[in-house]
Structure formats: C-alpha cells, structure tokens
Amino acid sequence: MELRLTDIACARGGMIVLDGVTFALASGQALMLRGPNGIGKTTLLRVIAGLQPAVSGQIDGADEQIAYAGHADGLKATLTVSENLQFWAKIYGTSGIDDAIAAFDLTMLIDRRAHDLSAGQKRRLGLARLLVTGRRIWALDEPTVSLDAISVGLFADAVRAHCAGGGMVLMATHIDLGLQADTLDLTPYKAAAAVETDFDEAFL
C-alpha cells in the first residue's frame, strides 16, 4: 500500500506550475511539502485529491483513499459541532465521532453552533473531520493556520497516531511540527514559464 506519483505536471489557471514531480509515500509515512508561495503546493494537493486532473503523469494508489482538507473547513455555520461531524461520518459510512472529538479537545464545544466558534476552534473541528473519514491518506493544505501552540500539539499527536496505524499524511506547511517526517521541497520542480496550448481554460 503506497501512494506513488510519477512525473506529475499540474496547472493553475492555464499555466503549468509544477513539472516532473515524482515521489512515493509508504504506509506510516508523513511527507511535508515545502516551497515558496505560488509554487503549486495547493494545486498539487488538489490534483492528488482528484479535484483537478494532472496535465501529465500518473498517480497510483490514490483512488478512494484520500481525505482532503483545504483552506476552507467545510463547516456549516448553523449546525452544531456534533452535527457537522456526524454528517461527515454518515457520508463516509463510519460510526462514532467520539474519538475525533476527544482528539481535538472539542468535548466542551459539542453543542455549540459552528458559527459561534473562534477561527482556531473551527480549524480544530475541520481537522477532526479527518478522523471520522476513516481514509488512509490525508492530504492537508496548511492545516495549522490559526491554531495555537497547544492545538498544534494535538494535531501533531493525531498525525502521529494516524501514521502509527498505517496511515499516510501529505501536508503543505511552513511550520515545524516536530514530527518524524520527510520533507519535499517543490522548488526544483518549478515549471519553465510555458503557456498551455489548450485554450479552453482561459475562459473558465
């Protein structure tokens, strides 16, 4: 069981941003994606999650395995913390949101509406969703934004536990989580400025 990317090129807004990205991620491994703003970390994660197609190259082992968490948390403001989590548990066909709630210290907030949570609490709820998906591979885009030091610790613990259970974590982040994780700097894969000949993207 591994996630393997072979020679992936991906585009944002019709411009190819990354070219020739190749790496493999084995069970229990965590990988940090690094690189300056605009290098294409988010684009690469969206390609891996299946939200947009790669321009070229091949991805193996990603089908129905990815739990994606982007910049937005996907919370419904008028639903409570437990209703939000229960919805995702039902969508993924898993049961029990208690572990996720305990792991991100949301017990006190369980009946609070998501609208009334602080930015950091919302993010914790968004990350707790990963635990209820039951998916093997987490693809996370800047997961620690607006988290305080204690919450970052909780998150690091969750990542460690997920990897210990045979899961994989792929994460674009700028901070050091203190994890035993490999780092992949995307700068060498930066594509030469080339305009895609396929014109229909320009209209979208």
Q: Which of 67, 106, 170, 186 binds other proteins (CB under 8 A)?
A: 67
Q: Which of 22, 52, 58, 107 binds other proteins (CB under 8 A)?
A: 52
Q: Which of 22, 78, 180, 183 binds other proteins (CB under 8 A)?
A: 78
Question: How far is 61 from 13, CA to CA, in rounded Å?
Answer: 26
Q: Least Å distance between CB 81 and other proteins? A: 14
* Residue 13 C-beta-side C-alpha neighbours within 13 Å: 4
Q: Least Å distance between CB 76 and other proteins? A: 6
Question: How far is 11 from 131, CA to CA, in rounded Å?
Answer: 30
Residues in the chain: 204
Residue whose CB is less far from other proteins, 51 or 150: 51
Q: In b/e form, how buried is each residue of 64-77, taking b as 16+ CB within 10 angstroms?
A: eebbbbbeebebee
Number of residues located near other proteins, criterion CB under 8 A: 29
- Beta strand pairing call for 66-69 and 137-141: parallel
Residue whose CB is less far from other proteins, 29 or 86: 86
Residue whose CB is less far from other proteins, 19 or 73: 73
Q: Which of 41, 123, 124, 129 binds other proteins (CB under 8 A)?
A: 129
Q: Which of 28, 50, 57, 120 binds other proteins (CB under 8 A)?
A: 50
Residue whose CB is less far from other proteins, 179 or 201: 201
Concatenating the DSSP letter of every residue in 76-111 gives -TTSBHHHHHHHHHHHTT----HHHHHHTT-GGGTT
Question: How far is 178 from 156, CA to CA, in rounded Å?
Answer: 8
Residue whose CB is less far from other proteins, 78 or 107: 78
Task: Cite the DSSP H helix spans in the chain.
Answer: 41-49, 81-91, 98-103, 119-133, 149-164
**What is the binding site for other proteins (CB under 8 A)?**
49-53, 64, 66-79, 83, 87-88, 90-93, 129, 204
